[in-house]
Structure 1
Amino acid sequence: MNSNKMFFFFMLIFSTFISISSNSWFGCWIGLEINLLSFIPLISNSSNLLASEASLKYFLTQSIASINFMFSILMKLTLMKNFEINNFISIMINSSLLMKMGSTPFHFWFPNIAEGLSWFNNFLLMTWQKITPMILLSYYMNKNFIIIISIINTIIGAIGGLNQTSLRKLMAFSSINNLGWMLISIMMSENLWLFYLIMYSFLISIMCFLFKLLNMYFINQLFISNLNYLIKTFLLINFLSLGGLPPFIGFFPKWIMINSMMSNNLFFTTFIFIMMSLIMLFFYIRIIYSSFMFNYINLKWMNIYIKNNQMMMINFISFLSMFGMILSTLFFF
C-alpha cells in the first residue's frame, strides 16, 4: 500500500461521510463524485488489462448514474408543486442510486467489474461502495418500487450464480442477492439495515481473505488443489454461514429480517426471499461438496504456504461463524 493508494483510500472513506452528513442533494452528489474519483485509482492497474477495463466500465456506469441523479434532483426542484410527477421523480432518483450500488435491473456491470478486481477491491465494491447510495435511498424512497426491486434482486442473485465458474462473479451474484435483503431492511428500519450490513461485511471479508490467502479465483482451483482438510472445513463453514444456514452466524441477521418482514405483513416477499436463499445454499454446497470429494494429486505450482498467525486468524473467524448463532441466541433470553 503506497502513499498514493493510502490517500485515495482515505478519500474513499471521507467521501462517504460527506454524502451521508450533507444537508442538501447537491452535497450528496459531490460526495458521490469524490467517491467515484477516489475508487478508480484504487482499482486501476496498468499491469493488469482486466483491472484497467474494469475501472473504465466502473467510471462510465457511475457517471451515467450521477448524471441521472443530478437531472432528477433538478427536476424535483423545478416541478416540486406537481404531485402527479412526484412519483415519477422518486422512481428516477431511486433508479440512479440503484444503478450506483449495482442493483437490478442495472446490475449488468457489477459481475463484469468484479471479475477484473483483486479480492480486496472486490470486498470494497461489495460493502463500502453500497453504504452511500443506500443511505441516500432511505431519504427519498418509493416503497412499492423498492419492494419489487428487492424481490427481483434476490431472484437474479440466486439464478445468476448457478452457472458461474469464477469465484469473483459468484460472490458478485451473492452480493446482488444480499442487496435485496438490505433494501427491504433499510425500508423497515435503519438500525436493522446497519446490523445486516455489518454482519454481511464480516462474512464477505472472511471469504475474500480466505480466497486471497489461497490465491483462488475459479471454482476448479478448489477441486484441483489438494488442500489441508482443516482449510476445506473452514471453507465449508464460511460458505454455509454466508448462505444463511442455521446454526452458523450468517443465519442470525436473516432470522431477524424474517421476523421484521412478517411483522410488517410482507408474507409473499418473505416466501420469495427464503426460496432464493435455498438456491444460494444449493450452489454453495455444490462447490464445497466437489472440493471435498475430488482428491487430485498435489501439483507443484499449487503449493500454498500459510503463516501460523494467519492460520490462527482463520481458526478464530471460523470459530465465530460456528458458535456465533449459539451466542446470538443467548441475546434473546
Structure 2
Amino acid sequence: MFNNSAKILFIFILMMSTMITISANSWLGAWMGLEINLLSFIPLMSDNNLMSNEASLKYFLTQTLASSILLFSSIMYLYKNNFMSFFNNLYNDNKYISMMILLSLLMKSGTAPFHFWFPNVMEGLNWMNSLILMTWQKIGPLMLISYLIIKTMLMWCIMSSIIIGSLGGLNQTSLRKLMTFSSINHLGWMLMSMFSNESLWITYFLFYSFLSFNLIFLFNMFKLFHINQLFSMFLFNKYLKFSLFLNLLSLGGLPPFLGFIPKWLTIQYLTFNNQLFMMSIMIIMTLITLYFYLRLCYTAFMLNYYENNWNFNIYWKNIMMNIYLMLSFFSTFGLFIISFMFYLI
C-alpha cells in the first residue's frame, strides 16, 4: 500500500475528510466530510481481484444509502429552521428528523441491527483495509452520534450490537468475520460509554484500535485468514503462540490484560448509575465472545500440542517481528504497568 503514490494520496484524503467531519459545525458540513471519506476509501479497497471489487461495491451502496438519508434529514431540518440552525437542540426541535439522522449514522458505523453489510465487506478486504474499516472509518460516525444521543433508540442498538456481536462469532471459521463480530460487540460498549462522557468512549476507542492493530499486524505478516491456518501455518514456537493468543484474550477484555481497562471504566459508570440490568447483559454477552476466543486458544495452550522449534529463527530475525513483540508485551502487561504508574503518582 505504501509503495503506491496514488494510495498514499487517498490515505491522506481519508484522514483529512475525517478531520472535516469531526470539526464541522453543521450537518451539511459533516455530510460533506463523510462523502469525501467514502470516495477516498473506495479506491483503497479495490485490490484487482473479484472479492475486493465486490466488497467495494457493497460498501459504496450501503454508505450511499446512509448518506442520502443523512442529507435528506439535514436539509429537512435546516428548511424547518430557515437554514440557521446547527448541531444545537436538534432533538428538541424535531424528534423524527433526529432519529433519521441517528439511523443513518448507525448504518454508516456498522452498528447492529444495521450491520448486515459489515461482515460481507470485511470478507473481501485485505488486512490493512480491514483495519482501516474497523478503526478509522468509525471515528466520523461515532463522533456525530455523540452529538445526538437519543437514549431509547441507542439502548436498543447497544443491546442488539452486544448480542449479535457475541452470538454471530460463534460459528465463524474466517478470522476476518471473527474480527467483524468482535468489532460489532465493541461498538455496543463504545455507545454505552458515550452516555458517561466524551472522554470515556474516546479512551475505549483508542484501546480497541491499539489491540486490533496488534492482532492484525501479525495476521497480515503471516497472511492468516482462517482458523485452521493458526495451527498449520506458523505457530512453530511458544513465543509466537502465546503472544498471539494473549492478544486475542486482551481484545476480549479478560481482566489481567490491557483490554480490560476500558471495560472496567464502562462497568464502573454503569454501576454508579444503577444500570445493573444493562451491565449484566453486557458482561454475559462479552463472556460469550471470550468463549470463542478461548476456543481458538485452547488447542494451542495444550501441553501436548505438536511444535517444530527448528523453524523459529526464520521469524525471530525479522524487524517487524520485534516491533510486534514489543506491542504484544504492552498489550499483555499494560494493565499492570498502568496500575503501577497510578499508585506511584
TM, length-normalised to structure 2 = 0.90
In the other structure, the counterpart of 2:239 is 230
In the alignment, structure 1 residue 148 sits paired with structure 2 residue 179? no
| Partner in structure 2 of residue 190 of structure 1 | 198
Identity of aligned residues (%): 53
In the alignment, is the contact (CA less than 8 A) between 2:20 and 2:30 conserved in 1?
A: yes
Of residues 212-221 and 224-233 in structure 1, the stretch that sits farther from structure 2 once superposed is: 224-233
**TM-score normalized with structure 1 length:** 0.93
- Is the Cα–Cα contact under 8 Å of residues 162 and 283 in structure 1 kept in the other structure? yes
Contact 1:236-1:288 at 8 Å conserved across structures: yes
Q: Corresponding residue for 2:78?
A: 77
Q: Distance in 2 between matches of 1:70 and 1:219?
A: 41
Match of 1:319 among 315, 318, 329: 329
The alignment partner of 2:94 has SS state of helix
> Does the CA contact (< 8 Å) of 1:97 and 1:133 recur in 2?
yes
Matched, 1:253 2:265: no
C-alpha contact (below 8 Å) 2:165/2:182 kept by paired residues: yes
Unaligned runs of 5+ in 2: 83-89
Of 166, 179, 183, the residue aligned with 1:158 is 166
Q: Which residue of 1 aligns with 2:248?
A: 239
Q: For the Cα contact (< 8 Å) 2:237–2:307, is it kept in 1?
A: no
Query: Cα offset for 1:330?
Result: 3.2
**Which ranges of structure 1 fall in alignment gaps of 5 or more residues?**
none
CA offset digits 1:68-120 (Å, max 9, x no partner): 11111122234459989822222211110000011111101001111111111
Q: 2:135, 2:165 → 1: CA distance?
A: 16
Superposed structure 1 runs of 4+ greater than 6 Å apart: 81-85
User: Whole-Å Cα distance in 2 between the matches of residues 151 and 83 of structure 1?
Assistant: 22
Alignment of 1:80-95 (within 5 A): 86-95=94-103
1:68 matched to which residue of 2?
69
For 1:290, the equivalent position in structure 2 comes to: 299
Shift of 1:320: 0.7
1:235-256 superposed Cα distances (whole Å, 9 cap, x missing partner): 1210110110111001011101
Q: CA RMSD in A?
A: 2.1
CA-to-aligned-CA distance 1:1-50 (integer Å, 9 cap, x gap): 2110000000000000111111111111100000000000001112x110
Counterpart for residue 107 of structure 2: 99
Letter in 1 for 2:68: I
Q: 2:120 aligned with 1:119, yes or no?
A: no
Is the Cα–Cα contact under 8 Å of residues 156 and 177 in structure 1 kept in the other structure?
A: yes
What amino acid is the match of 2:74?
A: I
The letter for the 1-side match of 2:328 is S
Query: 1:108 corresponds to which residue?
Result: 116
Paired residues, number: 328
Q: Distance between the aligned counterparts of 1:140 and 1:132, measured in 2?
A: 13
